[in-house]
Structure formats: structure tokens, C-alpha cells
Amino acid sequence: MSLRDVLRQYEQEIRKMEESFKGYFHSQVTLIPEISDHLISSGGKRFRPLLLLIAADLCGYRGERRYPLSAVVEFIHTATLLHDDVIDHAETRRGKPSANRVWGNSASVLVGDFLYSKSFQLMSADGDISVINLLSNTTNIMAEGEVLQLQKCGDIDITEKEYLSVIEKKTAVLISAACAVGALISKAPEAKIEAMARFGMRVGMAFQLTDDTLDYMAAEEEFGKAIGMDLKEGKITLPLIHTLRKCSPEDRKRIKKIVRDSAQDGHAIGEITALIARHRGVEYALEKARTYIEEAKTYLEPFEDSQAKRALLTISDYIINRNL
């Protein structure tokens, strides 16, 4: 089974989910749907809501609650992207001009706020306190992750443990919640809800690890953002953390200078990419991602074989192999 097969298998649900998104961010304030549609329709793979749909299917639920709650996780994610791009002064997002570049920082932040508040409105309408508790805690942890990342921006002394904490809070926790919500609305036993949460957490860690390696090696048209942007934004990710641990004091000083230089050029990025290649930083990060994926798969063992289970296994493998 390939990712294309998974998308074909859930084609009808994905279409209905997409339609619900557009309905939920409707507003008489025209800038809100304009900016929301710009980002939500820009080619994202709907990774988080798709996991929610598949997790619900795995646990035996195919009812209507999947759609507003899928919108919740996608809107929370989209709001963070809008805010991130403002913080990072991003120029592009998924190969298109970023919302902050087109409409300005203030509009991007405020529409992000609208998407957050719409998410909580949808959760309230759903009315399941266990879902509300999970997703409200998740958004709070994500905000902590944003602040921690900001605090560590440009810090070449960041440890691997600190970096993993950032990606757990910023990325993995929402992917974990998406999987757990799918099980929660299915009224699955507590053990299976926990298994889905743990599966999602490890998949989320692997997803961000591979994302951070792609920043040094993928083609921009495939990746959706300019290569080397993490470094330009002062984000020290695992390939570079590993390299800093292994390189000479002279190379470490050079990396520090480049990271702190706001006018980084292609040559400087190339220098760091070469050092990462020499010390096998990408390979180190990808091996850690593979370990997370293998752990994730163990949490699917209690579930009977099904198309949904095979879909989750396929997505797990895709995370490691995407655009590499």
C-alpha cells in the first residue's frame, strides 16, 4: 500500500472534510476566509485530520463527529503556521507567498486568533469534555513549545534533549491528540485510546525530525519552503546539534558566526551543509526518526488487521521516505 492508496481509500471522507473546513471559516469579515483559504488551500497534506479520520476508522467509528473535530486539529495547526510565519519573518509557505507577506503581520496574527477561537467553538458544540480537555491541554503545551523555541533561537549550546522537548511540544503533541481524538469519539477502551496517543506522539516526533533534515537536503518545490530557512531563522535542529557535538572548535566557532549573521548567503548555508554532511548529521537525525517510527508501530499491535491499520503503517513508512 502506498500513500496514494491511502488517500484514495479515504477520498470521500477527505472531500467531505475539505468542504467542512471552508464552511467553518466562513465570516462576513472577508479577510478571514481570504487568509484562511490562502493557507488551508495551499497544498498541505491534511496530515493531522487524516490521522484523526483513520484512527476513528481503526476504532470502529465513521460518524459525523469526525468532520468538525478534524477541522479543529487543522485549524489549530493552521493558526500556529500563521503565527510562526510572523515570528520568523517568513517569505513563503508551501511554495506560495506567506500570508504575512501578502496581508501583513497584524492580519495574519488576528486570523490565527480567529482560527483558534473557531476551534474552541467547534469543540464546545461537540460537547465531549474529554475531547475538550485533551485539545485545550494540547494547545497550551504547543504555546509552551513556541516560547521554548523562541528562547532557544540562535543558541548553539542547545542540547539534544532540549531540542526534542521543543519538537514534542510544538509538533508531536497535536499529532498525538489527533490520533487520540479519533479513538475517543469511537468510545474505544482506555488502553486503545492511550495506544493511539502514544502512536501519534512517536509519529509526530519522526515527522518533525524528517522535516528538519529536509531543510538541508530537499528541493524547494518539493518541500514547500526555501532550503536553509531553519538556519536563517536561528533554529538549531538535530542535524546541526549532532554536528556541533562532533566538529572541531574552529568549525564550531565558524558555525556560531554564521548562525548569528543576519545576512547569511548561499555560500554560508553551503558551508554548514557541508559540515553536516561530513559529520553525518542528517543520517543521525533520520536514524532517530526511524527509531520513533518503529516504536510507533508497536502501539498498533493490539489492533486487528484492517485497511485502517495498514493505512497507519503506510503513513508511518511514508514519513521516513518522503522526498528523500
Q: Which long-range contacts (CB under 8 A, 24 or more apart) does 298-305 make?
A: 299/195, 299/196, 299/198, 299/199, 299/202, 300/195, 300/199, 302/191, 302/192, 302/195, 303/58, 303/192, 303/195
Question: Rg of the Cα trace of the chain?
Answer: 20
- DSSP H/E element including 177: helix 173-184
Instruction: Please report, as a single letter, which amino acid is at residue 1.
Output: M
DSSP-based three-state secondary structure for 174: helix
What fold does the segment set 3-211+303-321 form as a domain?
Farnesyl Diphosphate Synthase (1.10.600)
DSSP-based three-state secondary structure for 52: helix
Cα–Cα distances in angstroms (integers) from residue 262 to residues 152, 159, 234, 265, 299, in the given order: 16, 23, 9, 9, 44
How do the pLDDT tens digits run along the chain, 324 residues long?
Answer: 899 999 999 999 999 998 888 888 888 898 998 988 887 776 667 899 999 999 999 999 999 999 999 999 999 999 999 998 888 888 877 778 888 988 999 999 999 999 999 999 999 999 999 999 999 999 999 999 999 999 999 899 999 999 999 999 999 999 999 999 999 999 999 999 999 999 999 999 999 999 999 888 754 444 445 567 788 888 899 999 999 999 999 999 999 888 887 556 678 888 899 999 999 999 999 999 999 999 999 999 999 999 999 999 999 999 998 754
Sketch the domain layout of the chain as residue ranges.
3-211+303-321
Instruction: Give residue for cell 549550546.
Output: 157
Please list the residues that pair with 97 across neighbouring strands.
Answer: 92
Q: What grid cell was written down for 251?
A: 568549525
Q: Which residues of 214-246 are buried (b: 16+ CB within 10 A; e: fewer)?
A: bbbbbeeeebbbebbbbbbbbbbbbbbbbbbeb
Q: Which tens digit of pLDDT belongs to each residue from 98-152? A: 889 889 999 999 999 999 999 999 999 999 999 999 999 999 999 999 999 999 9
